[in-house]
A and B are shown apart, each in its own frame.
Chain A
Amino acid sequence: MKLAAAAGGGLLVGFNWTDAKAKPAVLDATAEAAAPSIEFNSYLSVSPEGKITIFSPNPEVGQGIKTAFPIVVAEELDVDWQQVHVAQAPLDTVKFQRQVAGGSGSIPHSWKRLRQAGATTRQLFINTAAKRWGVPAGECTTDKGMVLHKGKNKKATYAELAADASKMPTPTDVPLKDPKDFKLIGTSIRNVDNKDIITGKPLFGLDFHRDGMLYAVVQRPEAFGTKIKSVDASKARAMPGIVDVITFDNNVAVLGKSTWQVLKARKALNIQYEKESALESTSDHDRIFDELLNAPDATVRRKDGDVEAAFKSAAKVIKSEYQCPFLPHSPMEPMNFFAHVRPDGAELIGPTQTPERARGDAAKFLNLPQDKVTVEMTRMGGGFGRRLATDFVMEAVKVSALAKAPVKLIWTREDDMTGGDYRPAVKYRFEAALDAKGNMIGYKLRGAGINAGNPTRQDNFPAGAVDNLLIDSAEHKSPITTGPWRAPITNFLAYAEQSFLDEVATAAGKDPIAFRLELLDKAKKSPAGDIKYDIDRMRAVTELAAEKSNWGKKSGVAQGFSLYFSHLSYVAQVGEVTMKQGKPELTKVIAAVDCGIVINQSGARQQVMGGVVDGIGHAMYGKLTFDEGAPEQNNYNNYRMIRMSEIPEVEVHFVDNGIDPTGLGEPALPPTGGAVANAIFKATGKRIYKQPFVEQDVLKGVS
C-alpha cells in the first residue's frame, strides 16, 4: 500500500495486486512521484470532487471483469457505486502482474487483494477523521464515501479527508467486512461500459484509428499443409489505394488506404501453393481416430486399482464412443491489431487476452527490450480463447516492420474461420463395468485427439468414485492448428462423459441423479485415489438442480441431467425436452451454480446464461470440416450459429455458501451439451454420440 496526494489535491492509493498484505506507507508528495513506484501495483484515486477512480488491470472480453473488480474494492471502501468511475489500466506486469483474461482465473486470483485494498483505504479515512476530530477511530463508522462520528455528530467525505489522509501512516491488519454486511457484492450492477456500447463509441480494436495508418489484410494458405510456391501481385499492386504487397512467412499482406481497397486487391492476388505436409480431410480424421482408439499404447493419465480384473468380473459392461468436430471461436469482432514499429520501439494497440505475451513476442521478434514495446488493451468483441494466441498480433508487427509504417491489420470473418487455432477434434471411448447390483466397479476412458494434447481431465469426477479406473490418451499431430477454446477440453469432454454416465445409469437401472449421488457417496466414504474436487459442493449443486427442476416429477417433460466441475466452479444442469409433432424440442435448461460468493448478480447470471446458450449452440450446430487441408465452412452462411429463435428458457440458481468466489466465464458451458443430449435421450430413447446434434438421426427434420 502506498499513498500519495494526487495532482489536483485528491488522494492516490497504491496497493498490491499480488500481495494481499498492505505494505507500510511510503509517502510521496505528488502523484507523479508515486506512479512509477514498483512497491504497489494498482491504484484507486479519490478526487477532490469525490469521484473514486478504480483501475481495472485485466483485459475485458465480455466476461464482466471491468465491472466485477471495482465492485469488490468499492464494497470494502464503503462508497456509493454512483461515485465510482472505472478505468482500464495499461499493460504493466511489473505493477499488475496477472493481466490475463483466461482460465476463469481473474476473480479467484484477486478477490482477497481487492478487498484488502478497499478495506485498508477505508480504515485510512477513518484514522484521518478520528485524528482531525480527536476521537478514537473505533467510534467512527463509514457510509457512502463518508466517515461519521455519531456521538459528536460529525461527518466528512473521503474527498474532504483525502489530502490529510495522504500524510497518514497506512493502517495494517485491517479486518475485512463480514460478508453479511455486504451492500454491493451480491447485488445487480450493470456493465460499466453500457453507455459507451449502446451509443456506439469506439471501444474495440477494430475501431482504432490513427491518422496515416495503412490498412492491411493477409492472404494465408487456403489449405493447412501447403506453402507458397509463387506470388504474382502485379494486378493487386495496380489497384486503387494499394500502397504495398508484402510476402512474409507463408503469407501475403496487402496494404492500402482503406479496408475495402485492400480486400478487393487481395482477391486479385495470384498465389500458387504447393504441398508441404499432409493435406488432411475429415474422412482421414475419422479413420485416424479409430486407429488411435485401438492403438496398443497410449499415454496413461490416471490408473487406480485393477481395471482388467474389474472388467473380467463385471456382470455388465457398457462401451460407447463420442465424437466432436473442430470448431472456430467465432468472436463477433474478428482478429485485428494495430502496430507501429519504429527503429527504437513499437506501439501495439488492440484486442488481446494476453497483452504480456503479445509484448514479449513482439520484443523478441524485433530484438527490442521489453520496455520499448507498449501494448494498449482495447475492449474485445469476444475472445473465447482465440485472443490468447498472438499470431494476429505478430502479423501486424511483422507487416508494420516490413512496411515501415503504422498498420492496422484486420481479419475478415472468412479469415477468422479458416485461419486455424481451432478447438481440436476429438473422439472418446468410454467403458464401464457394473457389478450385479449395478455399482460401477470399473471405468475406462481413452481420449483420441487431433492436436489436443491431453483431451481428458483424468482427475475429474467420476475419478475417485470408481475403484478401478484407467484414463489414457493418444494424439495425432496435424498441420491444422488448434488452441484453447472457451473451457478447453471440457467443452466437449463434459458432454461425452455426462452422456456416458447417463448411459451407465440407465444400464444399471438407476435414476441418473441418484446414480451420481451414489458415486459421490462412495467417493466420500472410500475414495479411490486422489480426489481433486469438493464432493460436498458437487452434491450441493446436484441437489439444487434436482430441486429447482422438480426432477422426475414433471409430466410431459423429459429431463436430462449433467454435472461438471471446471475452473474451480461447480455447475449442474437439467435440460428439458418436450415432443412436438414427434420431434424433440429443447424448452428449458435449469442451471445450479456454485461459484462461491456471487459478486454481481447481473453479470454472473449473464455469464451462466451466455455459457448455456454457447453450449447449446455449438453442440447443436457447430462443425468445421476439411477437404484436403482446406476448411469447408468459412462464414455464417455455411457455418451455423445459434440464433434467438433457437434458445430455450434458461433458469439460473446460485448456491449460497459464502465461499470465496471463483470464475464464471467458462464453467457454465461444459455441462450443457450433456444435459441437452440426455434430455433428448429421455424423450426419444435415442442417444446422441456425435456433435453437431442437429445432424444426428434423432434430430433429422428438426430445423
Chain B
Amino acid sequence: MAQYNLKINGQTYKADVEPDTPLLWVLRDSLGLVGTKYGCGIAQCGACTVHVNGAATRSCVLPVSAIGSSSVTTIEGLSAQGEHPVQQAWDEVDVPQCGYCQAGQIMTAAAFLKQNPKPSEAEIEAAMNGNICRCGTYHRIREAVKVASTKTK
C-alpha cells in the first residue's frame, strides 16, 4: 500500500492503495466518485474515460502510481451542475437510454471538442469510435457532439 495525493476535480484527495491499482478503482472504491464507469477493464469500451491534464484517458488501465501531480477531471467535475455544453447537448438531444456508457461518452466528447471545436462528421466518428454504447445511441451521440460544438465558442 502507498499514499497518494491526487488532484481530482480541483481538490486534493488522499488514497491509500497499492501502486498498480487503476485510477478507475481508486475513484470508485476509495473516493466514492462512481460516475466513472467500468465496462471492460482493458481500454476497449471507453466507459471509464476521464481527463488527465485535459486529455481523454482510459482510467481502467492507468495505474494510480503513474498519475503523480497530473490533474484529473471526472464526470463529477466537468461542471458543477451539468451546465457544460456537452452535458447540455446530451440532455437536449436526449441521448441516454440505459445511460451507463454516457459519462465516458461525454468525457471523450468534451476533451475532443476542446481540441477540435468545429469538427466534421468524420472527425466526430473517429473521435467517438472508441466508446461502445450497447444500447445503440450512436446517432444521438453524434448529433449531441454537433449540438455541443455550436455551443462552444
Contact assessment for A332 and B39 in the assembled complex, using a CB-CB cutoff below 8 Å: yes
List, in ascending order, chain A residues with CB within 8 A of B82's CB: 195, 198-199
Given A193-B96, A332-B101, A332-B133, A198 contacting B126 (CB threshold 8 A): no
Residues of chain A from 42 to 69 with CB closer than 8 A to chain B in the complex: 61-64
List, in ascending order, chain B residues with CB within 8 A of A201's CB: 35
Contact assessment for B35 and A642 in the assembled complex, using a CB-CB cutoff below 8 Å: no
Most buried by A among B28, B94, B131: B94
Instruction: For the complex, give the distance between the alpha carbons of A617 and B132 in Å.
Output: 11
Given A260-B22, A331-B134, A413-B41, A200 contacting B100 (CB threshold 8 A): no
Q: How many residues of B contact A (CB 8 A)?
A: 61
A-contact 0/1 string along B130-143, CB 8 Å cutoff: 11111111111110
User: Does B8 have its Cβ within 8 Å of any Cβ on chain A?
Assistant: no
Stretch at the interface among B42-50, B51-59, B112-120: B42-50
Contact assessment for B87 and A380 in the assembled complex, using a CB-CB cutoff below 8 Å: no
Instruction: For the complex, give the distance between the alpha carbons of A382 and B101 in Å.
Output: 10
User: Does A207 have its Cβ within 8 Å of any Cβ on chain B?
Assistant: yes
Q: Residue B139 contacts which of A63, A379, A603, A609 (CB distance < 8 angstroms)?
A: A609
List, in ascending order, chain A residues with CB within 8 A of B131's CB: 643-644
Instruction: For the complex, give the distance between the alpha carbons of A61 and B134 in Å.
Output: 12
Contact assessment for A647 and B94 in the assembled complex, using a CB-CB cutoff below 8 Å: no
User: Does A636 have its Cβ within 8 Å of any Cβ on chain B?
Assistant: yes
User: Does B128 have its Cβ within 8 Å of any Cβ on chain A?
Assistant: yes
Instruction: For the complex, give the distance between the alpha carbons of A607 and B98 in Å.
Output: 11
Contact assessment for B140 and A332 in the assembled complex, using a CB-CB cutoff below 8 Å: no
Contact assessment for B37 and A333 in the assembled complex, using a CB-CB cutoff below 8 Å: yes
Given A332-B132, A382-B135, A637 contacting B35 (CB threshold 8 A): no
Contact assessment for B47 and A332 in the assembled complex, using a CB-CB cutoff below 8 Å: yes
Most buried by A among B99, B106, B132: B99
Most buried by B among A197, A207, A614: A197
Most buried by A among B40, B82, B128: B40
Q: Which residue of B lies closest to A383 (CB)?
A: B98
Contact assessment for A381 and B22 in the assembled complex, using a CB-CB cutoff below 8 Å: no
Q: What's the minimum C-beta distance from A333 to chain B, rounded to whole angstroms? A: 5
Contact assessment for A64 and B29 in the assembled complex, using a CB-CB cutoff below 8 Å: no
B-contact 0/1 string along A187-216, CB 8 Å cutoff: 010110111011111111011010000010
Q: Which residue of B lies closest to A412 (CB)?
A: B41
Q: Residue A198 contacts which of B29, B102, B128, B130 (CB distance < 8 angstroms)?
A: B102
Contact assessment for A382 and B134 in the assembled complex, using a CB-CB cutoff below 8 Å: yes
Given A199-B87, A206-B37, A637-B42, A62 contacting B25 (CB threshold 8 A): no
Q: What's the minimum C-beta distance from A193 to chain B, rounded to whole angstroms? A: 7
List, in ascending order, chain B residues with CB within 8 A of A259's CB: 25, 28-29
User: Does A645 have its Cβ within 8 Å of any Cβ on chain B?
Assistant: yes
Q: Residue A200 contacts which of B36, B126, B136 (CB distance < 8 angstroms)?
A: B36
User: Does A612 have its Cβ within 8 Å of any Cβ on chain B?
Assistant: yes
Contact assessment for A62 and B138 in the assembled complex, using a CB-CB cutoff below 8 Å: no
User: Does A261 have its Cβ within 8 Å of any Cβ on chain B?
Assistant: yes
Contact assessment for A194 and B98 in the assembled complex, using a CB-CB cutoff below 8 Å: no
B-contact 0/1 string along A148-181, CB 8 Å cutoff: 0000000000000000000000000000000000
Instruction: For the complex, give the distance between the alpha carbons of A60 and B79 in Å.
Output: 26
A-contact 0/1 string along B1-45, CB 8 Å cutoff: 100000000000000011011100100111011111111111011
Instruction: For the complex, give the distance between the alpha carbons of A197 and B99 in Å.
Output: 6
Contact assessment for A635 and B40 in the assembled complex, using a CB-CB cutoff below 8 Å: yes
User: Does B72 have its Cβ within 8 Å of any Cβ on chain A?
Assistant: no
Residues of chain A from 608 to 652 with CB closer than 8 A to chain B in the complex: 609-614, 617, 635-637, 641-645, 647, 650
Contact assessment for A260 and B29 in the assembled complex, using a CB-CB cutoff below 8 Å: yes
User: Does A258 have its Cβ within 8 Å of any Cβ on chain B?
Assistant: yes
List, in ascending order, chain B residues with CB within 8 A of A607's CB: 97
Contact assessment for A197 and B96 in the assembled complex, using a CB-CB cutoff below 8 Å: yes
User: Does A667 have its Cβ within 8 Å of any Cβ on chain B?
Assistant: no
List, in ascending order, chain A residues with CB within 8 A of B81's CB: 199
Contact assessment for A258 and B129 in the assembled complex, using a CB-CB cutoff below 8 Å: no
Q: Which residue of A lies closest to B28 (CB)?
A: A259
User: Does A334 have its Cβ within 8 Å of any Cβ on chain B?
Assistant: yes
Contact assessment for A240 and B103 in the assembled complex, using a CB-CB cutoff below 8 Å: no
Q: What's the minimum C-beta distance from B27 to chain A, rounded to whole angstroms? A: 10
Contact assessment for A382 and B100 in the assembled complex, using a CB-CB cutoff below 8 Å: yes
Q: Which residue of A lies closest to B144 (CB)?
A: A198
User: Does A481 have its Cβ within 8 Å of any Cβ on chain B?
Assistant: no
Q: What's the minimum C-beta distance from B101 to chain A, rounded to whole angstroms? A: 5
List, in ascending order, chain B residues with CB within 8 A of A62's CB: 97-99, 135
Contact assessment for A614 and B76 in the assembled complex, using a CB-CB cutoff below 8 Å: no
Given A258-B30, A644-B142, A647-B138, A199 contacting B76 (CB threshold 8 A): yes
Residues of chain A from 443 to 457 with CB closer than 8 A to chain B in the complex: none
Given A204-B100, A215-B29, A188 contacting B87 (CB threshold 8 A): no
User: Does A18 have its Cβ within 8 Å of any Cβ on chain B?
Assistant: no
Contact assessment for B1 and A240 in the assembled complex, using a CB-CB cutoff below 8 Å: yes
List, in ascending order, chain B residues with CB within 8 A of A334's CB: 38-39
User: Does A110 have its Cβ within 8 Å of any Cβ on chain B?
Assistant: no
List, in ascending order, chain B residues with CB within 8 A of A200's CB: 33-36, 74-76, 103
Q: Which residue of B lies closest to A193 (CB)?
A: B99
Contact assessment for A611 and B136 in the assembled complex, using a CB-CB cutoff below 8 Å: yes
Instruction: For the complex, give the distance between the alpha carbons of A458 and B128 in Å.
Output: 42
User: Does A606 have its Cβ within 8 Å of any Cβ on chain B?
Assistant: yes
Q: Residue A194 contacts which of B32, B90, B103 (CB distance < 8 angstroms)?
A: B90
Q: Which residue of B lies closest to A408 (CB)?
A: B29
Contact assessment for A188 and B132 in the assembled complex, using a CB-CB cutoff below 8 Å: no
Q: What's the minimum C-beta distance from B129 to chain A, rounded to whole angstroms? A: 5
List, in ascending order, chain A residues with CB within 8 A of B22's CB: 260
Q: What's the minimum C-beta distance from A664 to chain B, rounded to whole angstroms? A: 12
User: Does A352 have its Cβ within 8 Å of any Cβ on chain B?
Assistant: no
Interface residues of chain A, those whose CB is within 8 Å of chain B, are 61-64, 188, 190-191, 193-195, 197-204, 206-207, 209, 215, 240, 258-261, 330-334, 379-384, 412-413, 602-603, 606-607, 609-614, 617, 635-637, 641-645, 647, 650
Closest 8 CB pairs of A and B: A200-B35, A381-B100, A62-B98, A613-B136, A200-B75, A197-B99, A610-B136, A636-B44
- Extra contacts, 6 of them, besides A199-B76, A206-B38, A607-B97 (Cβ < 8 A), are A198-B91, A206-B34, A209-B32, A260-B17, A334-B38, A644-B125
The 5 listed contacts between A and B (C-beta, < 8 Å) are: A62-B98, A190-B91, A334-B39, A610-B136, A614-B134
